[in-house]
A and B are shown apart, each in its own frame.
Chain A
Amino acid sequence: MQNFPLTVKAREDFPLLKRKIHGHPLAYLDNAATTQKPNCVIDALVRFYENHNSNVSRGVYTLAEEATEIYEEGRESVAKFIGANDSGKIIFTRGTTESINLVAAAWAQPKLKTDERILVTEMEHHSNLVPWQMVAQKAGAELVYWPITPETGSSDGGRLDLQKLDELLADSVKRKRSFRLLAVSAVSNVLGTVNPIAEIIELAHARGVPVLVDAAQAVARMPIDVSGWDCDFLAFSGHKIYGPTGIGVLYAKNERLEEMLPFQGGGGMIRQVGRQTSTWADAPQKFEAGTPPVAEVSGLAAAIKYLRNFGMQEIQRHEYELTTHALKRFAEFEDLELYGPPETIERCGVVSFNLRNVHPHDVAQVLDESGIAVRAGHHCTQVLHKRFGIAASVRMSFGLYNEIPEIDRLFSALDQAREIFLK
């Protein structure tokens, strides 16, 4: 058995992990959907409401100043966490989905022309796909797919091929149908594939194409460096990094911030309001109309501090070991179909599969009877699932508190599914 000092330290911090489900200890393996919350995050929310609750940027009294400070310190901690050199580039949203919709509405839509195109990949989550479909349809522009490599389960399957990207970019130059944007996820929420973001951005920028990175899955799993990557936009959610729901982040580099029109109108985003027209506040406030989620930001900052205490590299190593173990176990079973690369290299702790001839819903329900929480469905990636000729899959996804015995429990419980559905 491997030694997992990280897990031993972490498990105690998560009150929910003490729950029993159907008489079994909970094995929470749905961290790609959302993560559990450590005490420090829960405490931060309670502390805010018990001691500092007031609106931000509006009052001069003590509480209002405290709330404003908590909110802006949260922005600072997010900036440092993702390698942004200026917290002014951090916009708070409700989540990854809203962050991407913000870019779509405030930046892409006003700029997009009929003869332009938007490039997405076949592995995108609906949140990084549907907004682009909507924008493209409105403008009469074309949505183009960067295909993933075929043959999942083979070592070069389920990945993004850089050569193919280069071809797509060169072709668009030749046809004078330029890409307004490349929207790509850093980590696939189904295949667990870790995409070579730095190389992708370099290639796209060489052809003058801005890049939006959907970091929803990546941000809890590996170090993020927006400055090093030089990405134009990056989006993620608080609830997937052990923080509260209802808080998300959009990072945008300066040139893009300057190009962006306001997203929603309201309080907090204006400079001056006249009877007919208004002028806008500077970024990031320009994009944060209405009362912001102050308590959620304090919780997010607590989550970031918690992760930094472990170190993102340490968390990455931990997930790598869990994933390696899971993939090794898969190799033992003929009737399990694994999607995505079969080796841990260029992969992280998200592993999707099917038990042959058993519907993923049925598998997930049987696993639940043993206290094992996994996701079954298309995981908001219908394009990707259709690409594989399947409607749905079962997904296990790891967090910093998961242990190898939990993965082994899953493989044992699959026997019950075989017993019920295949006997």
Chain B
Amino acid sequence: MNTPTIYRDLLLEHARHPKNSGRLESPDLQASAFNPLCGDELELTLSLSAGTIQDCKTQVRGCSICQASASMMSEMILAKTLKDAAKTSQIFTESLSKEAEEIPESLELLRPLIALKTHRSRIKCMKLAWDALEDCARQNET
């Protein structure tokens, strides 16, 4: 891929050895996300304690970018409140827009993904796990 090798290696490391992969047995929240363009799918399961994410797992059937994004997300959101995690997701979405120039400090971990944003066809791959996260946040509000 047309990205600095260090980013590529980071992404591939996550894709090959995804963190928090699988499914929680009795999750408090669960959401699936689907990419209609390629048929990829992802399931996010979360356990909460007083609004804070205690544990999370993602079950991914997707490409390397989708898998890496899910893995990075799981590392970032653990021990955060679901509200804050959803906020991070929104900031991530903003940073993927064509106009966004700076990468916010809070998203430093996601730099290897954001570096790929010129490949607009892959945005949905990057976002799939985060879409499921935002879905969970919405469920928790209602």
Contacts and interface: CB of A to CB of B under 8 A. Distances in A.
Interface string B29-44: 0000000011111000
B38 A360 contact: yes
Nearest to B8: A420
Interface residues of B, number: 18
Contact of B64 (A362, A385, A392): A362
Interface residues of A, number: 17
B1 A365 contact: yes
B87 interface: no
A359 B62 contact: yes
A362 B39 contact: no
A366 interface: yes
Interface in B1-18: 1-2, 8, 12
B1 A366 contact: yes
A420 B12 contact: yes
A148 B137 CA distance: 43
A361 interface: yes
B64 A421 contact: yes
Nearest to B41: A391
A100 interface: no
B8 A22 contact: no
A292 interface: no
B98 interface: no
B65 A361 contact: yes
Given A359-B64, A420-B8, A369 B38 contact: no
Interface in B61-113: 61-66
Contacts of B66: 359
Interface of B: 1-2, 8, 12, 37-41, 61-66, 119, 122, 125
16 contacts: A361-B38, A361-B63, A361-B64, A361-B125, A362-B63, A365-B119, A366-B1, A369-B2, A377-B37, A377-B39, A378-B38, A391-B39, A392-B39, A420-B1, A420-B8, A421-B64
Given A365-B1, A377-B37, A391-B40, 6 more contacts: A361-B40, A362-B64, A362-B65, A378-B39, A392-B38, A392-B40
CB-based closest 10 A-B pairs: A359-B63, A361-B63, A391-B39, A377-B38, A378-B39, A392-B38, A362-B64, A362-B63, A392-B39, A377-B37
